[in-house]
Amino acid sequence: MIYLDNFAVGQVSRYGRYLVTREEVLAFATAYDPQPFHLDDAAAAANPIFGRLSASGWHSCAMTMRMTVDHWRTLGGASLGSPGIEQLSFVAPVYPGDVLTVENEVLSLRPLASRPDRGVVHSRTRTLNQHGEPILQFLAATFWPRRQPG
């Protein structure tokens, strides 16, 4: 189980390895973000930002979440949920063939006065491609149980 006191301000975790496939880019875009540069090679090549078929930013978020949850599971736990994220930025395109990893830095943590059985961790998450370049970043808050409430 992962508890609030497993985290420390300044702690940096690096985890995950996610190979982005063309089939997955097309399937996600077809279902959730059917813009031409996510679905069609010619339209993507004509786009001055992408230049070739690229994953939806929302797909990049979903891949990040998958790597994060898989990481938590290897540590024996899962969060209690999240009140949300802030400052989400799609920094660079993600292309089929890219390999993504996640870097998470704990910025602050505190027990919740209103719910002594849990606390909140504020962190900065960056997803990087195989060149170590960020492709997205955001600030997040996640709820975690406390080992000894109060």
pLDDT tens-digit series, residues 41-74: 999 999 999 999 999 999 999 999 999 999 999 9
Flag the least confident range among 52-66, 88-102, 115-129, 136-150.
136-150
SS3 content of the chain, % helix, strand, coil (to 5): 30, 35, 35
* Sequence-distant (≥ 6) Cβ neighbours of residue 114 within 8 angstroms: none
pLDDT band at 112 (very low <50, low <70, confident <90, very high): very high
| Res 77: pLDDT | 87
Across the chain, where does the E strand assignment appear?
12-19, 81-90, 99-111, 118-128, 134-145
Q: What is the pLDDT of residues 14-35, one digit of tens each?
A: 999 999 999 999 999 999 999 9
What pTM was computed for the model? Answer: 0.94
Q: What is the fold of 4-20+55-145?
A: Thiol Ester Dehydrase; Chain A (3.10.129)
8 A C-beta contact, residue 141 and residue 112: no
pLDDT band at 148 (very low <50, low <70, confident <90, very high): confident
C-alpha–C-alpha distance, residues 113 and 104, integer Å: 25
Cα–Cα separations (whole angstroms), residue 113 to 8, 67, 100, 117, 120: 19, 31, 37, 9, 11
